[in-house]
Each structure stands twice: as C-alpha cells, then as structure tokens.
C-alpha cells in the first residue's frame, strides 16, 4: 500500500493525478444532480406519485436535510476508516437509493430514499476535499481541489437542465435511473483508479467543537453562509426575477450562460488558487456585490441582466474550491471535519436562501433581491478582508501553510 509521501513523490514527476480527481468530480456531479434533478420534473413526479407539485418539491428539501444532518456525525464516525472504503460506501449508497427512487411507486418510500441519498451526499462532501488534497503536495492542493470540484458547476448549469429535458422526454424515472447507472460506473472507476489512503489516527483527531473554535474556521464558515445565502436567494427564484426584464422564456439560456461563466471561474481559480487565494476570494465577493448593484439599477434592461449573469457565474464558479481551500488551511490536520462543517454551512445557506427569497418575493417583490444580496455581500467582504490573520491569509498557499 502506498503512503502519502510515496504518492506525493510520484505526483511531483507526473503532475496532477487526473484519474482519481475526475472520479471525485464525478462524485460531486452525481451528488449535486441527484439533489437538484426533481426541481425540473415536479409536474411529472407529482403525477407519477399521485401528489401535488408542492409535495413533490419536498424531494429536494428532504435530500438537503439528509445531507445537513449526516455530514458532521458521519465524517467524525468514519474519520479513522480508510478513505477509499468511505468513498465507496457513499457511492454505493447513491446506487441503492437512486435505484429505489427510480422504481418506487410510494411517495413516502421515495422520500426515505431521497433522505438516504442526501446522507450519502453529506458523507461524500465530508471526504472529497481532504482526499483530493492528500493526493498531491501542498503547492498543488488548490489546483487538485479545483479539478475535484469541477462537477459542481457542470451539474448546476448543464446537468440539471439536461436531466429535466431527458425526464420530460422519457419520463422522470429514466432520469433517476440514469443517476443510478452513473453511480455504478463511478463505483467501478473508484475501485480501479482511486488510490487508497489511511484514515486519521485517534491521537491526531480533535473534537468537533475544538475544530469549530480554531482560529480562522468560524470566519470561513460565516463567509460561506453569507455568500451562499445571497447566491441562493437569486438562483432559487431566478424565474420570478427575470420577469422584470421580460426574460422569463429565456431561463434555460440564462442558466446555460451562467454555467459556462462558472466553468471559466473554476478554471481561473484552479490556475491561481495556490498563489492568490485571498485575492480570488475578495474579487469573487466583490464581483457578486457588483452584480447586485448592476441588477439594482438595471434589472429591467436585458443587456444588463445578461452581463450581470456572466459576472455572477464567474464569481460562483470558483466559490467551492476557494472556500474549501480556505477552510482546510484554517483547520490543518482536521480537514475532513471542517469540510463536513462547510457542507453543513452550505446546506443551511441553501435553505436560508430559499426561505429568505420566498419571504422577500411575497412581501417586497423580486425587485428587493439585489438589495438583499448587496447587504449580505458587504458583510461577507468585511469578514474576509479583516480576517487575514487566520482565515484568509495573503501570499502563496505553500508559504502560508508552512507558517
């Protein structure tokens, strides 16, 4: 069995280990797409299970709940297990419960399956970042994480619309069956291509609360929560917001543009994250603040909306890599626990963004969205800017990590 040191020695000569990193990216792709797929298929799912669209929409909520509740406890429970075993467990759970979702005719059984799929996602998110970082030396960790996280923007921007189209053409069960089939392929890929690594020794583990209290961890989690809450207010209710500019019929095109811009963002982040992490984070936060200002003054102008979506997509594309890298740097050897916290904060932000967006839409209308985004981003930028001592350090990461 190869050790971490041996792996690093090989990688220095061979570059990034793309086969395992792309397996991690596919894991993220399946996790995100499994979560968001029902959103584009609510009428068909409701009809197929004999429930309303509102009830069908709970398939998304229950998945997020499973991920939220499972991320930290399962990550702690499995922290001493070999990493490949944990990853295979997560992927295998996707296979089982996406298959049950595909064939189930019971609404309540489907909800249970969705909850368990969310549990698998929580376990996967708790391990992926640390696993990717351990496969490479310190100076390549940001780039490795960028590759490992590329499945997220692909799933959000292109996977979800494609899944919705497939479901509308061939039935929603086919779309979930495809998710199960992809998970089978991933399971085999992981067995063959992903090197195994040991878990964390008991002596090196810190309790969850001590990791939470480490200098730098809470500022990173706070920025994640504020940033993703702002993002999800607009992303969740993009349809009602686009009514203001007469672009409702162009939602698919808008999301596609967002997705391509996000891919550009993750590429730029992957190139620069190991040398300029702090600058990237501050630029990304500033970019979303600029987007909020553009939309506040030009929300009824189609050209302004299209330009804002491009900037928004770019700023979001690198968010996962940037914030997971910052969190891991702040937590040191406790990377898996802190990544579970990142997952928890991220899912809380998704839920809060949906709730806040709904309240704003009902009480003040979609015109209020940009102002809410701006307020959240000002606070997030302030935390990131003034948190450079522990959380968002300047300079190249390999120097930061050795301090």
Identify the pLDDT of residue 32: 87
pLDDT-derived band of residue 304, with 50, 70 and 90 as boundaries? Answer: very high
Q: Whole-structure pTM over 0.85, yes or no?
A: no
Q: How far apart are CA 125 and CA 341, in angstroms?
A: 10
* Burial of 357: CB neighbours in 10 Å, binned 0-12, 13-18, 19+: buried
Q: How far apart are CA 370 and CA 244, in angstroms?
A: 12
Q: What percent of the chain stands above pLDDT 70?
A: 90
> Which of these ranges, 8-22, 40-54, 206-220, 311-325, has the smallest mean pLDDT?
8-22
Q: Which of 72, 49, 156, 62 is nearest to 115 (CA)?
A: 62
| Average pLDDT score over the chain | 84
In the chain, what is the greatest distance between 2 CA atoms, to the nearest angstrom?
A: 60
Q: What is the pLDDT of residues 164-200, one digit of tens each?
A: 677 777 888 998 999 999 999 999 999 999 999 988 7
Element (H, E) at 322: helix 319-331
Q: What is the pLDDT of residues 309-348, one digit of tens each?
A: 999 999 998 888 888 888 888 877 777 778 778 888 888 8
Identify the pLDDT of residue 166: 76
* Residue 393 to residues 32, 216, 276, Cα–Cα distance (Å): 30, 10, 9
Identify the pLDDT of residue 169: 79
Identify the pLDDT of residue 23: 96
Q: How far apart are CA 213 and CA 194, in angstroms?
A: 33
Predicted confidence (pLDDT) at residue 45 exceeds the cutoff of 50: yes
Which tops the pLDDT comparison, 233 or 376?
A: 376
Domains identified in the chain and CATH numbers: 4-204 (1.20.1250.20), 208-401 (1.20.1250.20)
> Which of these ranges, 67-71, 116-120, 141-145, 292-296, has the smallest mean pLDDT?
141-145
Identify the pLDDT of residue 399: 44
Q: How far apart are CA 101 and CA 128, in angstroms?
A: 25
pLDDT-derived band of residue 223, with 50, 70 and 90 as boundaries? Answer: very high
Predicted confidence (pLDDT) at residue 205 exceeds the cutoff of 80: no
- Cβ atoms of 63 and 125 closer than 8 Å: no
- Cβ atoms of 252 and 161 closer than 8 Å: yes
Identify the pLDDT of residue 259: 80
- Cβ atoms of 362 and 164 closer than 8 Å: no
């Amino acid at each position: 069995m190869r050790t971490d040191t041996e792996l690093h020695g090989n990688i220095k000569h061979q570059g990034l280990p793309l086969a395992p990193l792309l397996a991690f990216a596919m894991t993220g792709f399946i996790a995100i797409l499994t979560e968001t797929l029902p959103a584009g298929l609510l009428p068909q799912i409701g009809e197929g299970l004999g429930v309303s669209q509102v009830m069908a929409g709970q398939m998304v909520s229950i998945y997020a709940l499973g991920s939220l509740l499972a991320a930290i406890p399962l990550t702690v429970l499995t922290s001493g297990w070999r990493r490949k075993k944990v990853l295979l467990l997560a992927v295998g759970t996707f296979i089982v419960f996406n298959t049950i979702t595909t064939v189930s005719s019971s609404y309540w059984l489907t909800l249970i399956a969705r909850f368990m799929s969310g549990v698998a996602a929580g376990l996967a998110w708790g391990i992926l970042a640390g696993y990717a970082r351990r496969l490479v030396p310190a100076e390549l960790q940001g780039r490795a994480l960028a590759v490992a996280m590329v499945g997220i923007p692909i799933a959000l921007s292109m996977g979800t619309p494609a899944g919705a189209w497939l479901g509308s053409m061939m039935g929603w069960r086919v779309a979930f069956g495809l998710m199960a089939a992809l998970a089978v392929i991933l399971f085999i890929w992981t067995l063959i291509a992903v090197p195994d690594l040991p878990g964390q020794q008991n002596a090196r583990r810190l309790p969850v609360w001590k990791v939470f209290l480490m200098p730098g961890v809470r500022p990173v989690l706070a920025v994640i929560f504020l940033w993703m809450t702002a993002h999800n207010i607009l992303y969740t209710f993009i349809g009602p917001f686009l009514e203001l500019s007469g672009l409702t019929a162009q939602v698919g095109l808008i999301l596609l543009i967002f997705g391509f811009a996000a891919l550009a963002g993750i590429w730029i982040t992957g190139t620069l994250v190991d040398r300029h992490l702090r600058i990237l984070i501050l630029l990304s936060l500033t970019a979303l603040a600029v987007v909020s200002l553009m939309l506040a003054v030009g929300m009824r102008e189609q050209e302004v909306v299209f330009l804002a979506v491009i900037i928004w997509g770019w700023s979001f594309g690198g968010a996962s890599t940037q914030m997971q890298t910052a969190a891991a740097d702040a937590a040191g050897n406790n990377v898996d626990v802190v990544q579970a916290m990142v997952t928890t904060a991220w899912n809380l932000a998704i839920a809060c963004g949906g709730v806040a967006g709904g309240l704003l839409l009902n009480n003040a209308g979609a015109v209020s969205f940009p102002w809410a985004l701006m307020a959240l981003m000002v606070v997030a930028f302030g935390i990131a800017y003034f948190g450079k001592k522990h959380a968002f350090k300047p300079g190249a990461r390999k120097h930061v990590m050795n301090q």
